[in-house]
Amino acid sequence: MEQLLELESHFLKEVSKYKDLIPSESKKTLGHIDRDRKNGSRDDLLHPINQFKLMKRFEIDWPKIEKALTNQNILDHRLGEVLERVKNGKAYETAQDGILRIQRTYNIEPQAFQSGDLEFHFEWDENRHPTLDANECFDIGRRAYLEEAPNKLVRDWMRVAEKIADPNVDEDLYIDIVDHFGFTSSKIGDTKTPLKSYKKLALLRPHNDRFRQNVEYYTKMIDKNRYQLGENNLEGTTFDPLTTTSADNPSWRTDKKEYEKLCRQTQANLKPEDQAKLSCFYWSGYHPYLIWQPYKAEMLWHSPQIVQFYDILNDKEMDAIIAMGRPQLKWATVQDPETGNLINADYRISESAWLKPTGNGLDNDQIIQKYRKRISMITGLTMERAEDVQLANYGIGGQYEPHFDHATEHDAGGFDEEDGNRLATWLSYIEQPLMGGGTVFLEPGIQAEPVRGSAVFWYNLLRDGSSDYRTRHAACPVVAGEKWVSNIWLHERGEEFTRPCLTEIYSEMNNI
């Protein structure tokens, strides 16, 4: 996101040199870009609406500028390359999905997004609130409709869009909004709203047979009282961020309800007997050095043991890791459990890069080597067959739905015999978002907070080498800011003596 913002600043400076060559329509587009960029600093990108608008500009607005100046050959060649990447990545659709994902998970009403007033969820200067226009609200609502979201949710977006839409400015857009508003209202048993909507449309388009027929249809429905017209049906979706209930805003993917509920929880609902088994402590690990400088640790769960360590990386190290990985970021992939192939999937929304130790002795390489050695000292594992450090970035609505890190017995794909399965996971939080982005574990029902500089560690396999299905976890959507994490997966081979297999599955299970 920051790179995109910097490139946009560069492109605007280039274009400003050739204003006389720009057609009047394209000048309007430039004016629109300038207005949206009134809050154009790195800090402003922490707000999800500013991220949304940046992605929209590069997919909708900047292509118009490029097209207008193609023949003049005066634009930086990088603009075309950036626009092609944005187009292939379907940036605007991704941004719309991100807003809907945040809304669905954290129960935030459309009006809060439209006004940019999300202060209830994170601190923000009210004088710098970005806002959504009618077209953007319609696009998000339309996207929800196409994704078969609940009709109440779609209707709420259309209701907000209608309130701010101006038929004198864009009549076609206004008609689309009112049409969708009336239709989705009818789908939830509301007859009065569709009648009002289609009466408006019939006045604007008196020769449109469908609008006229809908007026007649809903008039008859009301006259015959064929629908219950209780006011309760007209209120739309209820969003209550103070609770974890979402009965009025159901997930349209039922397998995600528990995951979304855990993401909303600020504190786990633990039984007293489970709470008694958890503690904070100093961990001296498996190396003499740690006797003199132990790490702060918190037992998040006892079986399987899930531990969060604090102050693992310092600011210099974290900044260096991000700087190393940023230029290499690519859309993250997952292993298809049916085919074993690596694919892009809508349930993992992030970019990632692999940081390979080069052995050249330079500062950055030393940071990676020390980082890996530190993990070995803490976990007691050799890191002999550990994967390279993976850096991942989660932007607007970035998430990773419930999954296992290792290959289970039911997956078509797996890991080769030379390395073995993923024995354990080390997850470091490199940059902490303003809101959201926690890691939830479904069976224990707990959430690890993405505290900058901390790391979470757990074993994926039982002591007999089989899958520990209790380790299913997910990355909650990022609401505001950016989340950077680094993963290191440690494999079975090379750890035969540090964590030997046992014949009894639950004997000495998952001790760090």
CATH code of 332's domain: 2.60.120.620
Reading the block at residue 110, the tokens are 């459309």
Shared domain check, 143 and 2: no
Distance (Å, rounded) from C-alpha 368 to C-alpha 383?
Answer: 13
How many domains is the chain partitioned into structurally? 3
Shared domain check, 383 and 360: yes
Domain containing residue 220: 101-116+127-227
Residue 378 predicted with pLDDT over 70: yes
Confidence tier at 318 by pLDDT (50, 70, 90): very high
Distance (Å, rounded) from C-alpha 509 to C-alpha 512?
Answer: 9
Integer-rounded Cα radius of gyration of the chain: 26
Residue 343 predicted with pLDDT over 50: no
Q: Summarize the confidence of residues 312-331 as an average pLDDT.
A: 91
Give the pLDDT of residue 504.
57
Give the pLDDT of residue 118.
79
**CB proximity list for 91: less than 8 A, separation 6 or greater:** 55, 56, 58, 59
Shared domain check, 66 and 136: no
Distance (Å, rounded) from C-alpha 313 to C-alpha 37?
Answer: 34
User: How many residues are given for the chain?
Assistant: 512
For the segment 120-172, what is each residue's pLDDT rounded down to a tens digit? Answer: 566 667 677 889 999 999 999 999 999 888 889 999 999 999 999 999 999 99
The helix (run of H) or strand (run of E) holding residue 304 is none
- In-domain check, residue 245: no
Shared domain check, 396 and 432: yes
- In-domain check, residue 294: yes
Confidence tier at 410 by pLDDT (50, 70, 90): confident
- In-domain check, residue 401: yes
Give the pLDDT of residue 258.
86
The helix (run of H) or strand (run of E) holding residue 445 is none
Shared domain check, 63 and 169: no
Residue 237 predicted with pLDDT over 60: no
Residue 340 predicted with pLDDT over 80: no
Of 206-215, 246-255, 451-460, the range with the lowest mean pLDDT is 246-255
CATH number of the domain where residue 109 is located: 1.25.40.10
Residue 229 predicted with pLDDT over 50: no
Reading the block at residue 373, the tokens are 């050695």
Q: Summarize the confidence of residues 258-272 as an average pLDDT.
A: 86
Of 14-28, 89-103, 313-327, 471-485, the range with the lowest mean pLDDT is 14-28
Q: Summarize the confidence of residues 18-24 as an average pLDDT.
A: 74
DSSP code of residue 300: E
Give the pLDDT of residue 341.
53
Shared domain check, 461 and 327: yes
Give the pLDDT of residue 400.
86
Distance (Å, rounded) from C-alpha 434 to C-alpha 479?
Answer: 7
Percentage above 90 pLDDT, the chain = 46
Confidence tier at 239 by pLDDT (50, 70, 90): very low
Query: Average per-residue pLDDT in the chain?
Result: 83
Give the pLDDT of residue 36.
79
Confidence tier at 189 by pLDDT (50, 70, 90): confident
Q: Summarize the confidence of residues 508-512 as an average pLDDT.
A: 49
Residue 294 predicted with pLDDT over 60: yes
- In-domain check, residue 240: no
Shared domain check, 222 and 294: no
Give the pLDDT of residue 46.
85
Residue 72 predicted with pLDDT over 90: no
Residue 308 predicted with pLDDT over 50: yes
More confident residue, 414 or 235: 414
What is the DSSP pairing of strand 478-480 with strand 446-448? unpaired
Shared domain check, 413 and 285: yes
- In-domain check, residue 2: yes
Shared domain check, 134 and 83: no
Shared domain check, 111 and 208: yes
More confident residue, 490 or 128: 490
For the segment 35-66, what is each residue's pLDDT rounded down to a tens digit? Answer: 777 766 777 888 899 999 999 988 888 888 88
Confidence tier at 331 by pLDDT (50, 70, 90): low
- In-domain check, residue 170: yes
More confident residue, 508 or 423: 423
Shared domain check, 417 and 359: yes
Q: Summarize the confidence of residues 79-96 as an average pLDDT.
A: 83
DSSP code of residue 59: I
Of 165-174, 363-372, 407-416, the range with the lowest mean pLDDT is 407-416
Shared domain check, 448 and 351: yes
- In-domain check, residue 512: no
Of 115-119, 196-200, 423-427, 493-497, the range with the lowest mean pLDDT is 115-119
Residue 247 predicted with pLDDT over 70: no
Residue 346 predicted with pLDDT over 60: no
Give the pLDDT of residue 267.
75
Alpha helix ranges (H) inside 37-121: 48-56, 62-68, 77-88, 91-106, 110-115
**CB proximity list for 40: less than 8 A, separation 6 or greater:** 5, 8, 9
Confidence tier at 342 by pLDDT (50, 70, 90): very low
Please provide the DSSP assignment of 388-411 as one string: PEEEEEE-TT-EEEEE-SSPPTT-
- In-domain check, residue 252: no
Give the pLDDT of residue 235.
39
